[in-house]
Amino acid sequence: MALASIERLDELPGDLCAALRRRFDDVGFDRRVLSVAADGAAALFEGLRFPLARAILETREDPGSRLALLFTFAGEVPEESARDALGPVAGDALVAAGVLVRTPGGALRSAYRVTPYEGLWIFTDHLVSGSDTVMVPGATTGRLVDLMPPALTGGMLDLGCGHGLIALVAARRGAAPVIGTDINARAIGLARFNARFNGVAAEFHVGDRAAPVQGRRFELVMAQPPYVARPADSVAATYMHGGALGDELALRFVAAIPPVLAEGGRALVCFDSAVRPGTAPTTLVRDAMGDPLVDLVLLLEPGLPPEQQAVAYASVEAPDLGPAYAAAVRRYHRHFLAVGAAAFHHVVAILRRRPPGAGGAAPFVHGLSTAFLAGGTSATIDALLESLDLAASGDDALLAAAVRCSPCTRWVDERPRPDARLAPAHAVRFGAGTVGTNRSFEEQEYALLSLLDGCDSVAFAIERFAGTAAAPSDGLRASVLGFVRQGLTSGLLEPRSTAGR
Ligand SMILES: C[S@@+](CC[C@H](N)C(=O)[O-])C[C@H]1O[C@@H](n2cnc3c(N)ncnc32)[C@H](O)[C@@H]1O
């Protein structure tokens, strides 16, 4: 399917955009209808799930389902049925502007894919291979939006903005000015159209990473760089491929952020990174970032194994899943073997430039493994940064602080057999939206955690602990402070004053 000419979108009059938006809203063309059709199957495998989504929607007569079939799932809808679903919106004008296309069989299909998201409708290309294709908002886009604070002030930069959804959500949440940059002029054209279509104020500029905004500073920077490994013999897709290992371009995105990050500002970058034996991810990203004055925290989840990536990305290249798909799977598989990429992390990189006078220790670098970040929000990140700040503070500040176990953790007593006479091991389980790793604790550590969780200061908990252990509190202080710091840097403990929970 050839890419539509986006110049013609400029010809869509404002009142027609408003009428279409109203119609989308009125008939419930929103995420609910998408989830009826498609959420059951893995997000990446469009070639597999689209026929099912179409089959489901074809059985439904309501206009919201019809519009979802037409605009989201590349369905061909008989013209009369499409006109019914469009209601008062002039279908002919949409055809004239190239948004809808008449098929030889007398049906209408959409030249763009439209994704509803939080009261916005985002126009992108259908996910076909090609260097300029503008990708659909995907799972990683959604994760970034989830991690965005619910209310914003100050400037926001969406690096590699593509369709512009992240920028538009930030503008809706109060950020100003909001700027998106992208190296792909087609993406910038669609982002500008999406801003106009949705009536949201944001600027979009073509350029390499932060080049169009040099000299400016932003309170919030967000980016989902292209991060897929590219076999040399594959057609490069600007939205998708990030280098031979996949993360090379993402590391250059990270490097572009410190110069445009305001004091007190935060950046979030989501990408996949190949595991390099002998090099910690924190070292890799820290070296790429370069600026020693910025805090860096990496949240690391297990990424898709290379075999699944081969299948997923080949299906993007050849969604018909025919011989071209088989050839692409082989290309990806051989490429992963050739570059020695055996495992990947999903990375959320958090960069923070401390506000002036914030004091505290020197900027830090931390990496935390977690399998539970799905469902995380900006409160998850706030709590983590507050915990890391406390862990980095001096002994006196830590002794005076009150800490608690993260409220998202759950404690279980584990026995190897259902035998009440066996002493249980105390284990912590992290829930959705947390950072941390499930683990067990010795009886004494568990007792100490209970005291820390219940006392008004770490110092008081040490005194009480010394009482139960019949040991002098002075002798215990250093080891307990080490234990508390470890808890604060691993997602287990947080300051009791933590905001937003
Ligand atoms: C994975 S897509 C993300 C799009 C969108 N931000 C999202 O989250 O859905 C990556 C985007 O980065 C853009 N890009 C690739 N190389 C770039 C560069 N050197 N500078 C700026 N943008 C770039 C691509 O054109 C694409 O739009």
Q: Say how far apart CA 133 and CA 131 lie, in whole Å.
A: 6
Helix (H, G, I), strand (E, B) or coil at 149: coil
Q: How does DSSP classify residue 6?
A: G
Tokens 């691993």 belong to 490
| Amino acid in the structure at residue 168 | L
Neighbours of 395 (CB within 10 A): 13
Does the beta carbon of 374 lie inside 6 Å of ligand 1?
Answer: no
Ligand 1 nearest-atom number relative to CA 223:
6
Helix (H, G, I), strand (E, B) or coil at 259: helix
The pTM of the full predicted model, rounded to 2 decimals, is 0.94
Q: Which residue among 117, 118, 135 is best mutated to probe the pocket of ligand 1, counting the most ligand atoms within 8 A of its Cβ? A: 135
Q: Say how far apart CA 438 and CA 492 lie, in whole Å.
A: 9
Contact 8, 97 (CB under 8 A): yes
Does the beta carbon of 135 lie inside 6 Å of ligand 1?
Answer: yes
Contact 347, 272 (CB under 8 A): yes
- Residue 491: burial class (beta carbons within 10 Å; 0-12, 13-18, 19+): buried
Does the beta carbon of 186 lie inside 6 Å of ligand 1?
Answer: no
- Residue 38: per-residue pLDDT: 64
Does the beta carbon of 445 lie inside 6 Å of ligand 1?
Answer: no
Tokens 């659909």 belong to 136
Does the beta carbon of 131 lie inside 6 Å of ligand 1?
Answer: no
Contact 115, 122 (CB under 8 A): yes
- Residue 415: per-residue pLDDT: 87
Q: Which residue among 209, 239, 271, 313 is best mutated to probe the pocket of ligand 1, counting the most ligand atoms within 8 A of its Cβ? A: 239
Task: Report CA(55)–ligand 1 centroid distance (Å).
Answer: 32
Task: Report CA(49)–ligand 1 centroid distance (Å).
Answer: 25
Does the beta carbon of 239 lie inside 6 Å of ligand 1?
Answer: yes
- Residue 41: per-residue pLDDT: 44
- Residue 402: per-residue pLDDT: 97
- Residue 398: per-residue pLDDT: 97
Strands in 409-414's sheet, in edge-to-edge order, are 409-414, 425-430, 439-441
- Residue 202: per-residue pLDDT: 98
In 125-236, the DSSP E strands lie at 156-159, 178-182, 203-206, 218-223, 228-229
Task: Report CA(220)–ligand 1 centroid distance (Å).
Answer: 17
Phi and psi torsions of 440, nearest 5°: -110, 160
The pLDDT averaged over each successive group of 10 residues in the chain (501 residues) is 84 93 95 72 67 90 95 93 92 91 94 94 84 90 95 98 98 98 97 98 98 98 97 90 97 97 97 96 95 92 94 88 94 97 97 82 87 88 94 95 92 87 89 88 92 95 89 86 96 82 52
Nearest-5° angle of CA 179, CA 183, CA 186? 90
- Residue 89: per-residue pLDDT: 86
What are the structural domains of the chain?
A: 1-111 (no CATH), 129-303+343-369 (3.40.50.150), 389-495 (3.90.930)
As a three-state string, the secondary structure of 269-322 is: EEEEEECECCECHHHHHHHHHCCCCEEEEEEEEECCCHHHHHHHHHHHHCCCCC
Task: Report CA(120)–ligand 1 centroid distance (Å).
Answer: 20
Task: Report CA(224)–ligand 1 centroid distance (Å).
Answer: 7
Task: Report CA(229)–ligand 1 centroid distance (Å).
Answer: 15
442-472 b/e with 16+ CB inside 10 Å = b? eeeebbbbbbbeebebbbbbbebbbeeeeee
Q: How does DSSP classify residue 40?
A: T
Tokens 């997923």 belong to 312
Q: What is the DSSP string of 402-466?
A: -EEE-TTEEEEEE-SSS-TTSPPEEEEEE-TT-----EEE-HHHHHHHHHHHHSSSHHHHHHHHH
Nearest-5° angle of CA 122, CA 177, CA 382? 85
Ligand 1 nearest-atom number relative to CA 137:
9
Does the beta carbon of 162 lie inside 6 Å of ligand 1?
Answer: yes
Q: Say how far apart CA 99 and CA 403 lie, in whole Å.
A: 56
Q: Say how far apart CA 85 and CA 28 lie, in whole Å.
A: 11
Paired with 123 in beta bridges are: 114
Q: Say how far apart CA 251 and CA 257 lie, in whole Å.
A: 10
- Residue 400: per-residue pLDDT: 97
- Residue 32: per-residue pLDDT: 84
Residues 6+ apart with CB under 8 A from 315: 44, 45, 46, 47, 48, 321, 325
Does the beta carbon of 238 lie inside 6 Å of ligand 1?
Answer: yes
